[in-house]
Amino acid sequence: MPTRIQKEARQGTMLLNMGPSHPAMHGTIRIMLELDSERILNSEVEVGYLHRGFEKQCENRTYFNLLPYTDRLNYVSPLINNLGYVMTVEKMFGVEVPERAQYIRVIMSELSRISDHLTCLAAMAMECGAFTVFLYKMKAREFIWDVIEQTTGARMTTSYIRIGGVRADLEPNFAAALEKAIKETRAVLKDVHGLLDKNKIFLNRTRDVAVMTPENAIAYGWTGPCLRSTGVYYDVRKAHPYLTYNRLNFEVPLGERGDNFDRYLVRMKEMDQSLRIIEQAATHLPETPAGVMAQDVEPAEAIKESRRKKVRTGVRLSPNLEGSEKDKYKNILAAEKGYVVPPKEETYTSIEGLINHFMFFMRGHGIRPPQGEVYFSVEGGNGELGFYIVSDGTDRPYRLHLRAPCFHIVAALEHLIKGRYVADVIPTFGSMNMIGGELDR
Amino acid sequence: MEEKKILDLLKLKFPEVVKDVSTTLGDDVAVIDKEALLPLVKFLKDKPYEYTMLLDLTCVDYLGEEPRFEMVYHLFSLPQNKRLRIKAKLGEKDLRIASLTAIWKNANWLEREVYDLFGVSFEGHPDLRRIFMYDGFEGNPLRKDYPLRKRQPRLRLRE
């Protein structure tokens, strides 16, 4: 079947495929170009190569089980996806999350935002020939991912933010690691500013290339750094504050021209602000009693003992559960039962705990939000990341729809590259930060 | 009570077509007749309300109910900083609704997505075809009667 561009093609022009697998396309996307020598007359963007039926899958998973699928949406900032989904469900319930958990969430989502921007700009700079910048930014991202790995146990597929709070409390030496990551990132940002801001090659390829007007950006539904680069002031963290963002001081950087360079600069400045938020949140973080891993009995022993009498001693948990001991629950998870995994100590040692455990994980039980529908959004790496959930009162969502920010942004690619040269596709596409997992769902 | 205002105003301005307004969990919701979609969003997009951004557009399949489908639009007004959800029911027999491509540019892809996954056709859409699934794919995967495990391999699988 001929595509639209084939039907519309003029005589004497050349049709050229860019992608789906192209070294300068980070992600699988196909751009079909109609060319008059180097000039792009017309183009068509084809997406869907990474469509894996996220929404259909979610309709068939329980609210607890579908959390790992959200990691795989924007795989560069999985924690923000977790947060968006989790807070949508919490909005249905009206859950009160402990303050410490809220600050942990803020820190984690800002770290993810930095890693998202770093990845985007690293790839963009590399494609413009600045390989040093790529390596510097990857180095900074490594330090940030060290903190994330230490806290969540995974680098990318975190599933850390849970309904009601977070999975586990912070590591004892979290503050030191965070300080190191902030210091290294600051240094890298300074270096990158020095390398790129007045770099003639970079400026030639990005300044006044692919200019987006504010009107068009709004008409295309752009959000996030791309919208702000056109000078429109809209940030979900300011417009509809969630978590503790209204208690933290930060600015929303704006661009002026809405070209590729502004999209780069807004992201750079946003990382500065994110670092600022993290530092503030780290000082506000409420104290928690120093965690001691109970050194008492093994679960198997405890179960054996509990057959005869009620176990009073602590139970030694698997190292995987470090940070989610029972005495930490009140700091990191909401108090209400029913949507929080019951503490493992109770599950292992008492019949009531075991019943609670099964009631939570059994099909048809567990997390069951009231009937109704809800839309909630957080500021993701690319913009407004919104979840629309329709609940019919059962343990799985009747319908779950994701408002993927980069879907709207990539939809404008055809418009942006029209009339430009083939070489302009690369920085334009790079500055959009297209993420296949989120775009194609 | 700004949010009450816009909903009341919609009811006052379009008494026949606005069937129900409510505020659930802090979200403003208006249920309308599908014929009234275009004039209503044009009214909302203009001054003084300026719902200039189409945040999201999707569909829900209520299998077994009549009308079966429901289109859901999320609008956003930058100056007012308010979101508004508009819903319109679609019957299975007449699965058509006006396209918003003339008003919002991102409606193009969003409507293609709904067309692809639900089979709703949009009148006035310039280029209505599948976006995620490939040409030759049969059925609409997000409908409730499409089985989760159904496979449509493009190459014949080895026995």
DSSP string, A276-307: HHHHHHHHHPPP-PPP----SB-HHHHHHHHT
Q: Is the CB of residue A181 less than 8 Å away from at least one CB of chain B?
A: no
Q: Is the CB of residue B137 less than 8 Å away from at least one CB of chain A?
A: no
- Classify the phi-psi angles of A189: left when phi > 0, otherwise alpha if psi is within -120 to 50, otherwise beta: alpha
Does residue A189 sit within a domain?
A: yes
Query: Residue A278 maps to which CATH number?
Result: 1.10.645.10
pLDDT digits (tens, 9 = 90+) for B123-155: 888 888 888 888 878 888 888 888 888 888 777
Does residue A3 sit within a domain?
A: no
Q: What is the DSSP letter of A211?
A: -
Q: Is the CB of residue B80 less than 8 Å away from at least one CB of chain A?
A: no
To the nearest whole percent, how much of chain A has pLDDT over 90?
Answer: 21
Same domain, A69 and A137: yes
Supply the pLDDT for residue A289.
61
Same domain, A58 and A154: yes
Higher pLDDT, A294 or A372: A372
Does residue A39 sit within a domain?
A: no
Q: Do the chains contact at B56 and A403, CB–CB below 8 Å?
A: yes
- Number of folded domains that form chain A: 2
Same domain, A306 and A238: no
ipTM: 0.89
Q: A399: how many CB neighbours lie within 10 A of its CB?
A: 22
Look at the pTM and tell me if it is higher than 0.90. Answer: no
Supply the pLDDT for residue A312.
58
- Picking from A334, A361, A388, the residue at the C-terminal end of a domain is A361
Supply the pLDDT for residue A296.
64
Does residue A10 sit within a domain?
A: no
| Containing structural domain, residue A216 | 54-288+369-440
Same domain, A126 and A272: yes
B2-94 has CATH 3.30.460.80 classification: yes
Q: Do the chains contact at B52 and A56, CB–CB below 8 Å?
A: no
Domain ranges for chain B, please list them: 2-94
- Picking from A332, A361, A390, the residue at the C-terminal end of a domain is A361
Helix axes A78-93, A99-127, angle to 10 degrees: 140
Supply the pLDDT for residue A292.
53
Supply the pLDDT for residue B52.
87
Same domain, A282 and A332: no
How much is the CA Rg of chain B, to the nearest whole Å?
A: 17
Same domain, A307 and A430: no
Same domain, A214 and A349: no
Same domain, A354 and A415: no
Residues 6+ positions from B59 with CB-CB distance below 8 Å: B69, B70, B71, B72, B114, B117, B118, B120, B142
| Of B96, B93, B24, B22, residue with least CA distance to B59 | B96
The pairing of beta strand B27-32 with beta strand B82-90: parallel
Higher pLDDT, B121 or A24: B121
Same domain, A356 and A373: no
Does residue A40 sit within a domain?
A: no
pLDDT digits (tens, 9 = 90+) for B1-60: 454 577 777 777 777 777 787 888 878 888 888 888 888 888 888 877 788 888 889 999
Coil/strand/helix, residue A144: helix
Question: What H or E segment, with its residue span, contains residue A372?
Answer: strand A372-379
A275: distance to nearest CA of chain B, Å? Answer: 27
At which residue do the structure tokens 């308010």 appear?
B82
- Find which of A218, A223, A238, A392 to mutate to test the B interface (most B CBs within 10 Å of its CB): A218
pLDDT category at A271 given cuts 50, 70, 90 is very high
pLDDT digits (tens, 9 = 90+) for A35-87: 888 889 888 888 888 888 889 988 888 888 888 999 888 888 899 999 999 99
pLDDT digits (tens, 9 = 90+) for A199-254: 888 898 888 888 889 998 999 989 989 999 998 999 888 888 888 888 888 899 99
Supply the pLDDT for residue A387.
92
Q: Do the chains contact at A401 and B58, CB–CB below 8 Å?
A: yes
